[in-house]
Amino acid sequence: MTTLWLDLETYSETPINHGTYRYAANAEIMLFAWALDEQPAQVWDLTTDGPMPFDLESALLDPEVVVYAHNSMFDRTVMRYAMPDLCPPIERWRDTMVQALCHSLPGALGNLCQVLGVPSDKAKDKDGKRLIQLFCKPRPKTSKVLRATRDTHPADWAKFVAYAGDDIEAMREVERRLPKWTYPNSHELGMWHLDQHINDRGLAVDLDLAVAALQAVEDEKVVLAERTAGMTNGELASTTQRDAMLEYMLAEYGVQLPDMQGATLERRLDDPDIPEAMKDLLRIRLQASTTSTSKYKSLVRATNLDGRLRGLLQFGGASRTLRWCIAEGALVTTLERDGRRTQTPIEQVRQDQLVWDGIEWVQHEGVVFSGIKDVIEHDGVRATREHVVYLSDTESTTLGEAADNGLALWEGDTCSTSTN
């Protein structure tokens, strides 16, 4: 049976953290790397307006050809929007990332190559990440060139085309070395195909209700800010001003709080030595900083134009049990040690919290768990290389890529939450 290996390099104005399906709806395929069986990898450069290679088109249309990609939901979804007539049906796809996850191995191709001993050129890998950062994302608003292209950066584009085929070679070698007793040579393949159908179908979202809920939250924040200003004679404009709030508590009530975390504030509400006026401010702070409404922002941001939210499930994401996982950014119901139930972004779930799995409260080793990793320091931020940081109010990257490329971090909102 013939195998088509493929990997796409794309550009979209929509950030990838809005979800694969929302991103793909506006994505442009720039480079299409591919190979048949053991033939050398080729790269079709769509920016030259040249026709699709005949062998590639024939393979995409041939129902007997199996299609392999790493994290294929991305490539397949982009193809569904960008070239729907040529996108193979789900049942023809195979995925080396899913195969790795099904055997409790890392999902990221780079980490997988390291675990399986697949040789790689570290300098070339580093340059490849730089090129993806350059060509696949909008440039910062302050940049003279808002989008890097083959015309604006011809030398880098030539490197980018050469780099595009490297993942094909790595993916083929990874597939050779991966175990196969769980996937694709078992019923798990059919389960994954079902998973892809479910993710493609998605679920309907009442966007009007979600937007109305967000507006209600904003209206209530205004009310809480006005109450705060009145209770503090204008010294605090809002209880969400963390440092100002801590300073006010110390100066006005002689109470020094270690932090403004919810658990810390709630303990103070039960403290008989805390003045009622201060407790009122703490209650306002807890109301104003709740994360339970953030789900509506995620819904609005990730829902497609047809009103459906897709890509919510990660097949085999639980490294030990192979159970489905909720996609990053989704909120899950957690149980605190004091019995409180909260809505927590999945990547922020602590190990001391129990998680509701639909039947019971369960313990875990971290809902999103990537093991113990080394940290680096760059531009005043100390975190793992995978930690997400902002370069501007619209552009983000990992701390490792920022450090590798000497990129300055945005001071307006230095870091976002990451899964480490």
Kindly report the number of other CB atoms within 10 A of residue 197's CB atom. 11
CA dist., res. 356 & res. 342, Å (int): 11
What is the model's pLDDT at position 146? 86
Mean pLDDT of 305-327: 76
273-306: string of b/e by CB count within 10 Å (b at 16+)? ebeeebbebbebbeebbeeebbbbebbbbbbbee
pLDDT digits (tens, 9 = 90+) for 14-32: 988 788 999 999 999 999 9
Mean pLDDT over all residues of the chain?
84
* Banded model confidence at residue 10, pLDDT cuts 50, 70, 90: very high
Query: Are 315 and 385 within 8 A, CB to CB?
Result: no
Lateral strand order in the sheet of 361-362: 341-345, 331-335, 354-356, 361-362
pLDDT digits (tens, 9 = 90+) for 179-235: 998 888 888 899 999 999 999 999 999 999 989 988 998 899 899 999 999 999 898
pLDDT digits (tens, 9 = 90+) for 251-279: 999 988 888 777 788 888 988 989 999 99
CA dist., res. 77 & res. 69, Å (int): 12
Give yes or no for residue 52 having a pLDDT over 70.
Answer: yes
pLDDT digits (tens, 9 = 90+) for 82-128: 999 999 999 999 999 999 988 888 888 888 888 899 887 666 677 88
What is the model's pLDDT at position 352? 79
CA dist., res. 236 & res. 232, Å (int): 6
What is the model's pLDDT at position 41? 95
Domains of the chain: 3-204 (3.30.420), 207-288 (no CATH)
Q: What is the pTM of this model?
A: 0.71
157-178: string of b/e by CB count within 10 Å (b at 16+)? bebbbebbbbbbbbbbbbbeeb
What is the model's pLDDT at position 345? 65
